[in-house]
Amino acid sequence: MIDTDMRLRSASPQDEGKIHQLFCVPEVFEYLADGKKPPPSIASAWVNSAAGDLAKYGGGLWVLVDGADLRLGGLVRLAGDDYGELELTYLLHPSLWGLGIATRMSHTAMKRAFEVGLVSTIWAGADAPNKASFAVMKRLGMQLRREVQYPLGSAMEYQMKAEAFDPARIEPLPIA
Position 55 scores a pLDDT of 84
Choose among 115, 112, 134, 117: nearest CA to 125: 134
Choose among 67, 160, 156: nearest CA to 106: 160
pLDDT of 174 above 50: yes
Cα 86–56–24 angle (5° rounding)?
A: 50
Q: Per residue in 118-158, pLDDT tens?
A: 899 999 999 999 999 999 999 999 999 999 998 878 999 99
Q: Per residue in 63-84, pLDDT tens?
A: 999 866 567 899 999 998 767 7
Burial class (CB in 10 A: 0-12, 13-18, 19+), 140: buried
Position 2 scores a pLDDT of 41
Position 68 scores a pLDDT of 62
Phi, psi of 135, rounded to the nearest 5 degrees: -65, -40
Assign 93 a pLDDT band (cuts: 50, 70, 90). very high
Kindly state the DSSP code that residue 5 receives in the 8-state scheme.
G
Query: What domains lie within the chain, and their CATH numbers?
Result: 3-164 (3.40.630.30)
What rounded mean pLDDT belongs to the chain?
90
State how far the Cα of 163 lies from the Cα of 129, in Å rounded to an integer.
Answer: 30
Biggest alpha carbon–alpha carbon distance for the chain: 42
Evaluate whether 173 touches 4 at the Cβ level (below 8 Å). Answer: no
Phi, psi of 83, rounded to the nearest 5 degrees: -105, 5
E strand or H helix that includes residue 55: helix 40-57
Maximum mean pLDDT: which of 49-58, 74-83, 101-110: 101-110
What is the average pLDDT across 30-47? 87
